[in-house]
């Protein structure tokens, strides 16, 4: 007996996809921890991991289709062998579906990899996803595996789909009559094919695809892409009961994990690309305006500050207000655009002096804190403000002030440290807290000194030291 070469068991390949995906996420975690990594490189590397996860999801979906097709092909051949007194048109539709299933079975077997090979970190480090892209959707887009109906012509897709739906209804009636409605795999297969034909032809009727669209693409591709393949896949995905419940559980859990992680990493990619754009002063070489936009909108979305609109004014003629620039205008962002400054990233505010100290003397104008000094001062104000005291900003402040004025134990100091860290992390400009400690001051039993090292957001910014003495008054 000859041994046929087949792919590894379903569960084995899905497990390999999971292992490769998990290893890719671990690799990305190590890359993120590199303090010298630039936002641009992180965006590129995170995109590789995102592609890895999405490619794995695509393979799992393909495996599900493959399982249904492998089950349907021999069963559909049994349907064709039954004496159901089919007309020539019905028999032609049935044989066409069998031909299409056979072609799809071969295509899926050659498209889905037998195994996922290679070390994830090595592949990702070389700029390749750890799971290959099988281009399943692209392959389906050019699918012509099922022969078109006899006499099919451009512009007749919908009516041929409706007629095909009627053929499958007749096949179901013939099989049910032969078996007396007794449950049989062949009857189940015919019913599922009829359901796929019904839903697909209904969608086509609702879409009302125009003749012009159907004349652009070959009739065989239109028939397969718009009707035969969707109906076949719907039928294959309806295979029930499950051929292997364990495999279903494995694939569903793995798919859920990968999609969840892909959503998280996609958000990280957007953030990293934004930071990379800020560090270079643009989000790309150019931007295409939308309806109703002005230069202030473009500057706000792409440069991080609407006040930078004047840097773009040389790219288009006046006027530059909202709605004045025609939609579809290309505005260059590559030259003459300054990167975001520390003041833009970390803000500016009036300088009211250190906590619990007199306001600086009047010198003819208000004194301003910009960038890092403003960031440090605003964190100090947040720590010294009781959480909930500001009526219109109840989320602003910390839980430290109510704890002051009592004898602090070691546990009390730890509590104040925790309260302080929570308050700092509530500031949207804080990326992370590297360290935080609380100590009592000699000779001042009611005061504490809170020290923290805070990493602000923004490319190239160093950690900021926060040193605040907090008292009950």
Cα–Cα distance, 400 to 423 (Å, whole number): 9
pTM: 0.57
pLDDT value of position 175: 92
Q: Where are the alpha helices (DSSP H) in 1-38?
A: 10-32
Checking DSSP bridges between strand 368-370 and strand 348-350, what pairing results, if any?
antiparallel
3-state secondary structure of 92: helix
DSSP string over 324-383: TSPTT-EEE-SSS-PPPPHHHHH-EEE---STTSPPPPP-SS--EEEHHHHHHHHHHHHH
Domain residue extents for the chain: 10-267, 282-332, 345-470
Cβ-Cβ contacts under 8 Å for 298 (sequence gap 6 or more): 287, 289, 309, 312, 331
Contact 111, 145 (CB under 8 A): no
CATH entry 3.10.450.40 includes domain 345-470:
yes
Q: Name the token pair of 5.
A: 């070469």
Cα–Cα distance, 345 to 429 (Å, whole number): 8
Cβ-Cβ contacts under 8 Å for 431 (sequence gap 6 or more): 455, 456, 457
Checking DSSP bridges between strand 368-370 and strand 430-441, what pairing results, if any?
unpaired
Q: Name the token pair of 373.
A: 């000094």
Checking DSSP bridges between strand 444-456 and strand 430-441, what pairing results, if any?
antiparallel
Distances (CA, A) of 297 to 271, 289, 382: 19, 9, 31
pLDDT value of position 169: 94
Determine the distance from the C-alpha atom of residue 133 to the mean position of all C-alpha atoms in its chain, rounded to a whole number: 16
Contact 272, 45 (CB under 8 A): no
Counts for the chain of helices (H) and strands (E), in that order: 15, 7
Cα angle, residue 65 at apex, residues 48 and 171 outer, rounded to 5°:
155
The H or E element containing residue 73 is: helix 39-81
Contact 165, 142 (CB under 8 A): no
Q: Where are the alpha helices (DSSP H) in 82-156?
A: 88-111, 120-125, 136-141
pLDDT value of position 217: 72
**Which residue positions in the chain have pLDDT lower than 70?**
1-11, 181, 208-216, 240-247, 274, 277-287, 291, 300-305, 313-315, 317, 320, 323, 333-345, 355-357, 362-365, 407-408, 445, 458-460, 473
Bond from prior residue into 241 cis (ω within 30 degrees of 0): yes
How do residues 17-63 score in pLDDT, each as one tens digit? 999 999 999 999 888 887 777 788 888 899 999 999 999 999 998 98
3-state secondary structure of 456: strand
pLDDT value of position 5: 37
């Amino acid at each position: 007996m000859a041994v046929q070469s087949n792919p590894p068991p379903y569960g084995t390949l899905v497990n390999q996809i999971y292992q490769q995906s998990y290893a890719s996420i671990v690799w990305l975690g190590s890359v993120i921890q590199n303090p010298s990594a630039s936002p641009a490189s992180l965006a590129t590397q995170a995109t590789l991991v995102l592609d890895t996860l999405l490619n794995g999801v695509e393979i799992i979906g393909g495996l599900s289709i493959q399982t249904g097709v492998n089950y349907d092909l021999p069963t559909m051949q049994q349907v064709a062998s039954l004496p159901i007194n089919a007309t020539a048109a019905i028999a032609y539709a049935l044989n066409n579906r069998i031909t299409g299933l056979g072609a799809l079975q071969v295509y899926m077997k050659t498209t889905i990899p037998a195994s996922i090979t290679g070390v994830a970190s090595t592949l990702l480090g070389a700029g390749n996803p750890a799971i290959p892209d099988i281009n399943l959707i692209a392959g389906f887009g050019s699918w012509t595996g099922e022969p078109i109906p006899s006499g099919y012509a451009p512009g007749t897709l919908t009516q041929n789909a409706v007629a095909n739906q009627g053929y499958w209804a007749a096949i179901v009636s013939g099989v049910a009559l032969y078996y007396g409605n007794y449950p049989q795999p062949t009857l189940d297969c015919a019913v599922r094919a009829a359901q796929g034909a019904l839903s697909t032809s209904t969608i086509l009727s609702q879409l009302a695809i125009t003749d012009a669209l159907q004349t652009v693409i070959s009739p065989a591709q239109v028939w397969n892409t718009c009707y035969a393949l969707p109906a076949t896949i719907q039928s294959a995905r309806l295979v029930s009961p499950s051929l292997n419940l364990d495999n279903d559980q494995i694939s569903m859990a793995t798919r859920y994990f990968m999609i969840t992680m892909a959503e998280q990493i996609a958000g990280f990619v957007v953030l990293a690309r934004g930071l990379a754009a800020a560090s270079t002063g643009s989000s790309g070489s150019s931007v295409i305006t939308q309806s109703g936009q002005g230069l202030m909108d473009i500057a706000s979305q792409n440069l991080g500050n609407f006040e930078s609109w004047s840097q773009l004014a040389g790219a288009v003629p006046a006027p530059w207000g909202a709605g004045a620039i025609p939609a579809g205008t290309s505005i260059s962002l590559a030259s003459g655009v300054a990167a975001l400054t520390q003041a833009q990233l970390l803000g500016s505010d009036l300088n009211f002096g250190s906590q619990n100290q007199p306001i600086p003397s009047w010198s003819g104008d208000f004194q301003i804190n910009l960038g890092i000094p403003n960031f440090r001062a605003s964190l100090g104000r947040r720590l010294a403000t009781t959480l909930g005291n500001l009526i219109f900003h109840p989320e602003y402040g910390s839980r430290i002030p109510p704890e002051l004025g009592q004898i602090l134990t070691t546990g009390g100091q730890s509590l104040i440290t925790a309260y302080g860290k929570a308050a700092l992390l509530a500031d949207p400009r804080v990326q992370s807290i590297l360290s935080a400690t609380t100590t009592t001051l000699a000779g001042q039993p009611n005061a504490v000194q809170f020290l923290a090292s805070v990493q602000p957001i923004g490319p190239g910014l160093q950690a900021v030291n926060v040193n605040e003495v907090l008292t009950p008054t």
